[in-house]
Structure 1
Amino acid sequence: MRRTTLVFLAAGLLAATAACSSSSSTDKPAAATTAPAAPATVPAAGAAATSAAPASPKQAEPASAPDAAAVAAKIKKAVPSAKTVTVITADTDSNHLLGKPHQYTSAAHIIDTRTDSTTSGIDSGATVEVFANEADAKTRAAYIDGIGKAQPMFAEQDFVHGAVLVRVTKALTATQAAEYDKAAS
C-alpha cells in the first residue's frame, strides 16, 4: 500500500513539474530583451483569408487580446524591480503550450531583482501569458492554483485581467505581487 502511494505521489510530482514548469529546459538560452521586438502573432481561429466574401460594414472587428511582450513592458515600466523581459517562443516554451488550442497565444518572463534567481522563469519574478479569451485564462489560472494547493512548493500568486494571466513567484510578498497586479490592469 505504501509503495503504491509513493509511486503515485512521485508520478504526480513529475506531472506537476512538467505541466507547470516555466523555466526553460532546452539547450538554447532565451533571448533577453530590454525593449521587446514585435513578436510573431498567432492568427485567431477563423482568421484565414476571406477575401472572396466582403465583410459587412455593420460587423465590428472582435477586440484582439494584447500581446504578452507589451503587457510585460507595461509591467516593467511600472514596477521598478522588474528589470528584464524575455519573450517566450515555441522553441523556448518549456510547457510546450504556446499557440495550442485553449492555451496561451503569447508569453513573456520578467526577472525581478528582489528574487534570488537570475534565470528566466516563474521563480525569477513573473510570467505573463496571454490567451485568446478570458475563459481560457481563467481555466489556466484554476489549473495552476489546483497544483499549488496539492503541492505547496508549486504555489504562486496569479492574477487574471481579461485574457491576460500574470503569474508571480511565491518568493515575492503579497504586497510586492500586488504591484504586478496593479501594473497589468
Structure 2
Amino acid sequence: MNRTLMASAAAALLLGALTACSSTPGQDSSDKDGITDAKSLDAAGAFSQLSSKMSTAKLSGTVTAENDPNKLLGRPNQYTSKITFTGSQVSADDVTGTDRGDVSRGGAIEAFGTPADATARAKYIQAVTKGMPALSEYDYVHGTVVVRVSHFLTPKQAAAYESAANGMS
C-alpha cells in the first residue's frame, strides 16, 4: 500500500471513530445503560424537583469548595455540586451535636459528571458505612445524581425519597 492510501484510510477510520462518539446537537446522549446524561441535573436543580414531591425536605446549605467537609467538590470523578437538606421527619433529639449539613439531619444531594461517577460514590459510601450503623444512610442513584438520606428515617419514609428521586428528570 502506498503512503497516500494508508493516510487516507487512517483519516477515514479516525473520522468514523470521532463521529461515533459524538451526538447530534439537540439530541440526548446515553450511556450503555440508557441513562441520559445530556440533561444532567446539578444538585440545586435535583433538590428543587425532589422537594416539590417531598414537603418534609428543606434546603439547609449549598456546599462550596471552601466549606466542603469532604474536600471532594470539583475534584476528578467527584461531585460537581452538592446541597444539604433537613427533614422534618428526623427528630431533633436524634441529631443533637451533629453539624448543620450532616446527612443524618435529613440528607444531601450530590451531582456528578457521569452516571458511573455517581454510582461509584454511592457504592463507596455504602462500603465505608457498612460496619458502622451510626453512619449508615440510604443512598439512591438517579443518572448523575446521588440522593443521600438519613438513617433516622424509617424504611418507608426513605422509600418515599427514593420514589421522588426516581421521578426526577
Instruction: Output the TM-score relative to the length of structure 1.
Output: 0.64
2:164 aligned with 1:183: yes
| 1:151 to partner: Cα distance | 2.0
Q: Is the 8 A contact 1:156 1:167 kept in 2?
A: yes
SS of 1:129's equivalent?
Answer: strand
Return closer, same or farther for 1:144/1:59 CA change in 2, 3 Å cut-off: closer
SS of 2:153's equivalent?
Answer: coil
| Fraction of identical pairs, as percent | 37
In the alignment, the residues of structure 2 paired with residue 64 and residue 77 of structure 1 have an alpha-carbon distance, to the nearest angstrom, of: 19
Q: Is the 8 A contact 1:131 1:164 kept in 2?
A: yes
Q: Quote the residue 2:75 is aligned against.
A: 100
SS of 1:181's equivalent?
Answer: helix
> Structure 1: which 4+ aligned runs deviate by more than 3 Å?
none
Greater gyration radius: 2
Q: Quote the residue 2:84 is aligned against.
A: 109
Q: Quote the residue 1:67 is aligned against.
A: 42
User: Between Structure 1 and Structure 2, which shows a larger proportion of helix residues?
Assistant: 2
**Which moves more between the two structures, 77-86 or 98-107?**
77-86
In the alignment, the residues of structure 1 paired with residue 164 and residue 124 of structure 2 have an alpha-carbon distance, to the nearest angstrom, of: 23
Equivalences for residues 21-170 of structure 1 within 5 A:
59-61=23-25, 63-115=38-90, 116=92, 117=95, 119-170=100-151
| 1:85 to partner: Cα distance | 4.1
Q: Please provide the CA RMSD for this pair.
A: 1.9
SS of 2:118's equivalent?
Answer: helix
For 1:171, the aligned partner's letter is F
Aligned positions, number: 129
In the alignment, the residues of structure 1 paired with residue 23 and residue 122 of structure 2 have an alpha-carbon distance, to the nearest angstrom, of: 32
Q: Is the 8 A contact 1:73 1:85 kept in 2?
A: no
| 1:80 to partner: Cα distance | 1.6
| 1:60 to partner: Cα distance | 2.4
For 2:67, the aligned partner's letter is T
For 1:121, the aligned partner's letter is D
**Which moves more between the two structures, 110-119 or 140-149?**
110-119
Q: Is the 8 A contact 2:79 2:110 kept in 1?
A: yes
Q: Which runs of 5+ in 2 are unaligned?
A: 1-18, 30-37
SS of 2:61's equivalent?
Answer: strand
Q: Is the 8 A contact 1:68 1:128 kept in 2?
A: yes
For 2:70, the aligned partner's letter is N
Q: Is the 8 A contact 1:84 1:112 kept in 2?
A: no
For 2:156, the aligned partner's letter is T
